[in-house]
Each structure stands twice: as structure tokens, then as C-alpha cells.
Amino acid sequence: MAELVTTAAKLDAWRATIPGKRVAFVPTMGALHEGHIRLVERAAEIADAVVVSIFVNPTQFGKGEDFERYPRTLENDLALLGDLADVVYAPSVEDVYPPDDPPVVTSAGPAGAGFEGASRPGHFDGMLTVVNRLFDIVRPDVAVFGQKDAQQVFLVKRLAAERGSPEIDVVRTVREDDGLARSSRNRYLSAEDRAAAVAVPAAVWAVARDIEAGVSAALASGRAVLASQPLARLDYLELVSPTDFTPVGEDFHGVATLVVAARFGNTRLLDTETITVP
Ligand code: PAF
């Protein structure tokens, strides 16, 4: 079983027992599922020791978002992790944000304003602030993130480049048998919405299939898939440049990132895929 520590001081003490070891870090908000386990397995492959954090970060939730409702399942999470991780850091809000040591608020800037940032104002500032703080506490050599949250990955890579550490390792999205990307939020879907949600990966596949016809045609195909599903409300479906996360035009050639968000009931689902535009 992984060692459970609840304070940065105890994590420091553990850190001092493994001098010279390469440490991989998987930050999470708990409610772990197979997708997280893949990240932890990857972390174990690329380092000598693995730290997983479980912290529902209040600063990345906006007013009326699901902070209170966010599942807190520490016992299940620990059982699921087994001994895949060496340490689980599950701190209190005060441990991460001590009142006498306010965090450096990290701004996501324009790259955090569109897409997820547009429907969740301030979300990426809060996410970067906690990730920066957790990097300071854990001091990992490498941190592992899931590809599904493409905008988060883009912003965290930029943060790590600015700080000069850690390395960022990105793990491909884990999907259910019907293609739906694994997410803690899938559990909020009604049975009807869950069945309809297969339209999200279907839209991704439609873009990949039709990209030969050009950016606009491929995006139109993807959007049409979601438009034909009455339970889906499309938020965005765009191809963005991996260098600045802005939408690419018809003249773009090379590797782009497809980002999709759609609502089913009150649940927002995200998906992403790397698409080569010929
Ligand atoms: O992706 C998440 O679960 C969160 O945004 C993260 C990276 C753990 C920061 O709270």
C-alpha cells in the first residue's frame, strides 16, 4: 500500500529518505479511475519513485461549479492505487494554501481564456496556481498528465518551461469500449446521456476521417455528428495549433490538436485527438 501523507512537511521528510532518486508525480483530484491508473503506471515506468496527490483544488472551481459535489473517495482511491505509488499526498486546503504563505497566483493569460477557459472563467489560473504550488512541494523530476485535458496540458507545459522543471510526460486518453474518454465526470451521466455521449468520440473520428477534405470540411463533419444527437449540446469543436492553442485556418498544414466539448444534461464532456492536416 502506498504511504499516505497529509502534510508538505511529512512529504519533505519522505523526500529526504530517497536522495538521488528520480521522482515522478501524478497530480489528481481523486475519484480515481482507469485513466488515472494509466498515468501512475506510466510514472512508475519512467522514475524510481512515484508520488500521487489527491487534492480537490477549490481555486479552480468557479461559482456554481461542482466543488462541493466533486466526489471525494479517498479510501477507494488508496485501494485502487495499491502499491503502484510510493506516496499519496492528500493534503488539507490549509496545507496547500497556508494563510501565512499565499500562493503565487499563476495567470493562464490569453491561452487560458478560450475553450474551457471561456465557459469556466478563472479555472486555468486556479489550476496553474495549484500545479505550481504542488510542483514546489513535491519537487518532481517529471510530472505525468493525461492528454484528454489538452488545454491544461498546453498550459502546464508552458508553466514547466518557464520554471525550468519538471519534465512533462503526456499519456494518451484511455477510452471505454465504445470510445468515450474515461473521466471522473462520466459517473454523472444518466443512462440515456451515457448512451448518447458516444457522439463525442464519433465526432472526433469524423474529423480524422475527413481531414483530407480540408480543415473546414473536417470540422463541419465533426460538428454534424454532434448536431444530429438531440441530447448533445455542442460547446466547441476546433482544430488548434499546438504552439499557441488558437484555431488553425484552411492554410494550416502539420500536426494540430482537435478539441471538443459538449454538454449532456449538466455534464460537460471533453475529448481531444492529435490530427495531422495534410
Ligand atoms: O486535472 C486535474 O485533475 C486537475 O486540474 C489537477 C491537474 C490535479 C490540478 O488540480
Whether residue 127 has its Cβ less than 6 Å from ligand 1: yes
- Tell whether 107 and 62 lie within a shared domain: yes
- Tell whether 147 and 213 lie within a shared domain: no
Please state the domain count of the chain: 2
What is the CA 114 to chain-centroid distance, rounded?
16
Taken in order 16, 17, 18, 20, the sign of the CA dihedral is positive
Taken in order 248, 251, 256, 260, the sign of the CA dihedral is positive
Question: Residue 67's pLDDT is what?
Answer: 86
For the chain (278 residues), the mean pLDDT of every run of 10, in chain order, is 96 97 98 93 98 97 84 95 97 96 90 93 96 98 96 97 98 94 90 98 98 98 98 98 95 97 95 97
Q: For residue 57, how far is its CA from the centre of ligand 1 (angstroms)? A: 8
What's the rounded Cα separation, in Å, for the pair 233 and 227? 8
Please state the atom number of ligand 1 nearest to the C-alpha of residue 28: 8
Query: Is 36 one of the annotated active-site residues of the chain?
Result: yes
Q: Is residue 221 part of a domain?
A: yes
At which of 126, 150, 171 does a domain end? 171
Q: For residue 215, how far is its CA from the centre of ligand 1 (angstroms)? A: 31
What DSSP string runs through 170-185?
EEPPPB-TTSPBP-GG
- Tell whether 200 and 157 lie within a shared domain: no
Range of the domain at 155: 3-171
At which of 121, 140, 171 does a domain end? 171
Whether residue 106 has its Cβ less than 6 Å from ligand 1: no
Residue to probe by mutation, ligand 1, list 57, 123, 133, 155, most atoms within 8 Å of CB:
57
Question: Residue 6's pLDDT is what?
Answer: 98
Q: Whose CA is nearest to atom 6 of ligand 1?
A: 28
Q: Please report, for the domain that includes residue 244, its CATH number.
A: 3.30.1300.10
Q: Whose CA is nearest to atom 1 of ligand 1?
A: 28
